[in-house]
Structures are given as structure tokens and as C-alpha cells.
């Protein structure tokens, strides 16, 4: 692409947020967010204590078009001013992905502009470059409702996975515990708030895989032991509820900390000739203050700087999708109109897509 700057319309619809954003991306890998709109479907899903895929898809259909108008208006742009359209094409709930991707295809076809299908995880992974003005290489902890991964971000488009979860994601550990304790939805912020009032040493929950040398996580046993403990102390009063939440969150934090430290040690050892300045956290769970505080201490211990995007860019948004779309478009990459939505799509597979596109 010859242009020095591109204005990208981004669409995110992989889960329970319908989001539209316009980001101006320049060839020196800097971005300016011109508008960023997130419509949360929380109210529609909360009676069920979790995301109902069918409801999510229908809601995306209803809200996407007005949100696109709103994003253009906020950016003071007309649709004709857009240079490319990017949509999350995976991983995520397939119905929602199809809604966003098909809308993007329609816009690309109607305006004869490029379409870029973006990997949602790459959106989270590259957000800190947009919001915190850093550049790779960096070590990334991607912690969301569907994923928990430690990744080496070597450069834009080059990722290697150091560890992942073998069962539940960290966000699921928060959400399932909150549902069981009946403290509100979405579970992460509800549990974090309650934990602030509790004693985090009161109950001793396990730290799964703590003796393993790998950087993989496991959270499902932790949830089971919470249920067991809670049943033992029934009836639960406000104080014990807060203590359970605080002790449970502490166990999650410990697991994240232990595996992050292993990853840092391994990567620094293997890359002694490369300066890796940053330990970065992104994804919804990275908005948790106790987790941020604990990772700041960890990064400093290893003479690294801890970076996490502002909270509204940790959770799902479309600025991250427009941003990745722009980075790719300026590198000459675009997709054909027949690209599929993909429920599963790992970050490491992106390399293959790059080769195909070159």
C-alpha cells in the first residue's frame, strides 16, 4: 500500500460486545483512535449467568449498523473516507463472528475497499503498541475469558507460544466462581470487588501445576476446590464470602505469577543478545488491579517494565481490530471476500496466513 496513513473501520463481534472503531494507522506503526464504541450485551446475558451464543448473534445483528453510523459520526468521517475495513474473523463464537465479518464484507464490496480478517488474539496482543507506545520484542501474558497464554511477541506478525492453559482460561476461573458464589455477572469485576473486602490467606486453595517445569496453566481444579470449601462452611455469611473470593483470587494470581516468572526466566536465558524491556499483560483479566500490581513487582524483579493497556482497551473493543487491520494493510496484506469465520484460530497459525498473503 502506497499511502502513508490509512483510516480503518474495525468491527468486533466475537463474544458479547458489539464494537466498532475507526483508527488511523501510519507507516511508522503508530495509531490514532478516531472513535471507539463498545456496546455491551451484559444485560441480555446476565439472567443466564453467562453468554448465550444465540442471543449474542441476534444482538450483534441489531446493533452493528447503528454503531457503525455512530463511529463515523464521532470520527467526523463519511463512510467514503474509510480506506479499509477490518473485522474479527476468529477465534470466538461462530454466529457472532459471521455477523461482523459478513457486514465487513458488504462494506468492502460496496465501497471497493480492502477487507482484512483479524485474529482477535492478535488484537489483544498488539494493543499495547497502540495504547502504550511500546514496540516489540516483548513477553506477553494474554489473559481473557477464552484464553490464557504466555507468548513471545518477536515482532508484528511473529509470535511463539511459551505456555497455555490445559483446561479453563483465567477469565473462566473468575466467571465460574462468581456464578457459583452468585455474586453477579460478569464474574471477573464482581469477584475482584468482593475480594477487596476479604482475607486472602483465610482459605488455602491449590496452585495447580506449581511443580511442573512447563509454563502451562490449569484452573479447573481450583474451581472444584472452591466449591468443595464453600460447601464445607455453609451457610456462608458476607465475611466468609469475601474471604473465599479473596483467597480464590490470590490462588489465581499466584498461578499467573509463577508461570509468568518461569516464562520470563526461560525467554531471557534463550535471548541473551536481545534486549527485552517489557512484560505485557492484555485481555479482560489484565484489567484486574491486584493482578496488575503483582505483575508490576514481578517485572521489576527481572529489570523489566510492566505494561498493560488502559482498562477499556484490555477488555474487548474494536480499536484493536482496526489497529491490526491497518498494520496489515500497510504491509500489503488483505483478504479475499471468501475468507471464513473461524471458531478456533491460534496466534501461531498467523505465520501461515502471512506466507499465503505474500
Binding region for Zn ion (CB under 5 A): 144, 316
| Pair 118, 87: CB distance under 8 Å | yes
Q: What is the Cα–Cα distance from 292 to 280, expressed in whole angstroms?
A: 10
**Binding ligand KG4 by CB under 6 A: which of 114, 136, 163, 186?**
186
User: Per CB under 6 A, does 171 bind ligand KG4?
Assistant: yes
Binding flags for ligand KG4, 21-60, as an x/- string (CB under 6 A): ----------------------------------------
Residues 315-344 that bind ligand KG4 (CB under 6 A): 315-316
Q: CB of residue 314 vs ligand KG4: minimum separation in angstroms?
A: 7
User: Per CB under 6 A, does 84 bind ligand KG4?
Assistant: no
Q: Which of 256, 264, 323, 247 is nearest to 31 (CA)?
A: 323
Q: How many helices (H) and strands (E) does the chain have?
A: 12, 10
Kindly report the backbone phi and psi dihedral angles of residue 159, in degrees, each rounded to the nearest multiple of 5, phi listed first: -130, 140
| Residue with smaller CB distance to Zn ion, 143 or 299 | 143
Q: CB of residue 213 vs Zn ion: minimum separation in angstroms?
A: 29
Q: What is the Cα–Cα distance from 264 to 300, expressed in whole angstroms?
A: 12
**Binding ligand KG4 by CB under 6 A: which of 188, 198, 208, 309?**
188
The item of ligand KG4, Zn ion, none sharing an interface with residue 84, based on CB under 5 to 8 Å by kind, is none
C-alpha dist (Å) from residue 258 to 191, 210, 252, 265, 267: 21, 7, 10, 11, 14
Q: CB of residue 136 vs ligand KG4: minimum separation in angstroms?
A: 20
| Pair 331, 2: CB distance under 8 Å | no
Binding stretches for ligand KG4 (CB under 6 A)? 15, 144-146, 171, 174-175, 186-189, 192, 283-285, 287-288, 315-316
Amino acid at each position: 500500500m502506497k499511502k502513508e496513513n490509512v483510516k480503518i473501520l474495525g468491527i468486533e463481534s466475537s463474544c458479547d460486545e458489539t464494537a466498532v472503531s475507526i483508527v488511523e494507522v501510519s507507516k511508522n506503526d503508530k495509531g490514532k483512535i478516531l472513535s471507539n464504541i463498545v456496546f455491551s450485551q451484559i444485560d441480555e446475558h446476565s439472567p443466564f449467568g453467562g453468554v448465550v451464543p444465540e442471543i449474542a448473534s441476534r444482538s450483534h445483528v441489531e446493533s452493528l449498523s447503528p454503531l457503525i453510523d455512530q463511529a463515523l459520526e464521532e470520527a467526523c468521517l463519511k463512510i467514503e473516507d474509510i480506506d479499509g475495513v477490518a473485522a474479527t474473523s476468529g477465534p470466538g463464537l461462530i454466529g457472532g463472528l459471521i455477523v461482523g465479518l459478513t457486514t465487513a464484507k458488504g462494506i468492502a464490496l460496496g465501497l471497493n475497499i480492502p477487507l482484512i480478517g483479524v485474529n482477535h488474539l492478535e488484537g489483544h496482543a498488539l494493543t499495547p503498541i497502540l495504547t502504550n507506545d511500546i514496540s516489540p520484542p516483548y513477553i506477553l501474558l494474554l489473559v481473557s475469558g477464552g484464553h490464557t497464554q504466555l507468548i513471545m511477541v518477536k515482532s508484528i506478525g511473529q509470535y511463539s507460544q511459551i505456555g497455555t492453559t490445559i483446561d479453563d482460561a483465567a477469565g473462566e476461573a473468575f466467571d465460574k466462581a462468581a456464578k457459583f458464589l452468585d455474586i453477579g455477572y460478569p464474574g471477573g469485576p464482581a469477584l475482584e470487588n468482593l475480594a477487596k473486602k476479604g482475607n486472602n490467606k483465610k482459605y488455602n486453595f491449590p496452585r495447580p501445576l506449581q511443580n511442573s517445569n512447563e509454563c502451562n496453566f490449569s484452573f479447573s481444579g481450583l474451581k472444584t476446590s472452591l466449591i468443595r470449601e464453600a460447601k464445607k462452611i455453609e451457610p456462608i455469611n458476607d465475611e466468609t464470602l469475601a474471604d473465599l473470593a479473596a483467597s480464590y483470587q490470590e490462588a489465581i494470581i499466584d498461578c499467573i505469577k509463577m508461570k509468568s516468572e518461569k516464562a520470563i526466566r526461560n525467554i531471557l536465558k534463550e535471548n541473551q543478545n536481545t534486549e527485552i524491556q517489557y512484560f505485557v499483560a492484555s485481555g479482560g483479566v489484565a484489567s484486574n488491579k491486584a493482578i496488575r500490581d503483582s505483575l508490576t513487582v514481578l517485572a521489576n524483579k527481572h529489570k523489566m517494565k510492566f505494561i498493560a493497556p488502559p482498562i477499556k482497551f484490555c477488555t474487548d473493543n474494536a480499536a484493536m481490530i482496526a489497529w491490526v487491520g491497518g498494520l496489515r494493510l500497510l504491509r500489503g496484506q488483505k483478504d479475499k471476500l471468501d475468507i471464513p469465520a473461524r471458531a478456533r484460530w491460534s496466534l501461531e497459525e498467523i505465520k501461515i496466513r502471512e506466507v499465503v498473503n505474500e
